[in-house]
Amino acid sequence: MMAGRPNVRLDLSNSPENVSLVREMLTGVAEGVDLDDNDLHDIRTAVTEACNNVALHAYEGADGPMEVEVYAWPSVIEVVVRDHGTGIQPRIRTAEDHALGIGLHVIQALAQRVQFSDTTGEGTEVRMEFAATGIRAPGSPGKDGMEPLVTGAELRSTMWASISPAALARTVLPRLLSTLAARASFSTDRISDAQLVADALVAHAPRSPAPSRLSVAVGVEPRNLELYVGPLDAGGAQQMLSDSAVDGIGAVIEQLTDDHRVATTDSSEMLALRLSDPR
């Protein structure tokens, strides 16, 4: 199996509705690396099954975290699905267990390699490696922003995403944000605004000599999204706002959000944004 930092990492709750968010992320990755549609179908099918197992079995009906990582190499896509629950490997090994849907045997058929790590009481990690000949590898992931902006109970209504490099974020983040806007019952026009905000965030993320990594936490409530982008160097948040200015319109991020502010910590800052659709 491959090693190193992932190109994309999502930290989510094990809510069944988050499986569709993972599928949208994979579609965005596929678009960013020119992955063949047939290969994407195989990857989404296998990863969907792994995520469904976390949603249905990892926490015995309770809430808990689900982590998904994607590594894109010149000829390989690796996806890791991880939980911190009671462990599901003993059940997932049984192909006749209809509660697990399409079953482990199908995951094994679709993936080039599958590796399960299961420790009782500490959860399960499923690593799936898929052949992806001819893709456009996105480049080496940046090193910044790998610590989740949210943890624990906050994940029940919050998604944390870390994407690198910025070129890959251009195809992933707009899909994630528009999906969450739809979940928050935004109108079609406001969903489009959320996608434009995502486009602006990606386009004007702070540059650095090393490949950049964009980290975003999104809190979801009915008709309301709260976004936190960071960690950023001092002045980075205001720079993102200023750089999004368009002649005749002004700063796009400011124009399309209902509120924006700079949240500071001891060593960094975050750009905090709110999008609402009260209708």
Cβ–Cβ < 8 Å for 25, 172? yes
User: What per-residue confidence (pLDDT) applies to 48?
Assistant: 93
- Cβ neighbours, 10 Å, residue 269: 19
Task: Share the mean pLDDT of the chain.
Answer: 82
Give the integer Cα–Cα distance in Å for 59 and 203. Answer: 38
Paired with 83 in beta bridges are 66
Give the integer Cα–Cα distance in Å for 197 and 169. Answer: 13
Range(s) within the chain of domains with CATH label 3.30.565.10: 8-131, 152-276
Better pLDDT: 145 or 14:
14
User: What per-residue confidence (pLDDT) applies to 152?
Assistant: 47
Question: Does position 161 have pLDDT exceeding 60, yes or no?
Answer: yes
Q: What is the pLDDT of residues 30-43, one digit of tens each?
A: 999 999 999 999 99
Cβ–Cβ < 8 Å for 125, 76? no
**Superfamily of domain 152-276, CATH level 4:** Histidine kinase-like ATPase, C-terminal domain (3.30.565.10)
- Kindly report which listed range (122-131, 145-154, 270-279) carries the lowest average pLDDT score: 145-154
Q: What is the pLDDT of residues 173-212, one digit of tens each?
A: 999 999 999 999 999 999 999 999 999 998 887 654 344 7
Q: Which two tokens stand for residue 171?
A: 């195809």
Report the percentage of the chain scoring pLDDT > 90: 43
CATH architecture of 8-131: 2-Layer Sandwich (3.30)
User: What per-residue confidence (pLDDT) applies to 158?
Assistant: 81
Amino acid at 228: Y
Nearest Cα to Cα of residue 226 among 200, 250, 258, 255:
258
The answer to whether the pTM exceeds 0.85 is: yes
Beta-strand runs (E) in the chain: 8-13, 65-72, 76-83, 113-119, 123-131, 158-163, 214-221, 224-232, 245-246, 250-251, 259-264, 269-276
Q: What are phi and psi of 99, to 5 degrees?
A: -65, -20
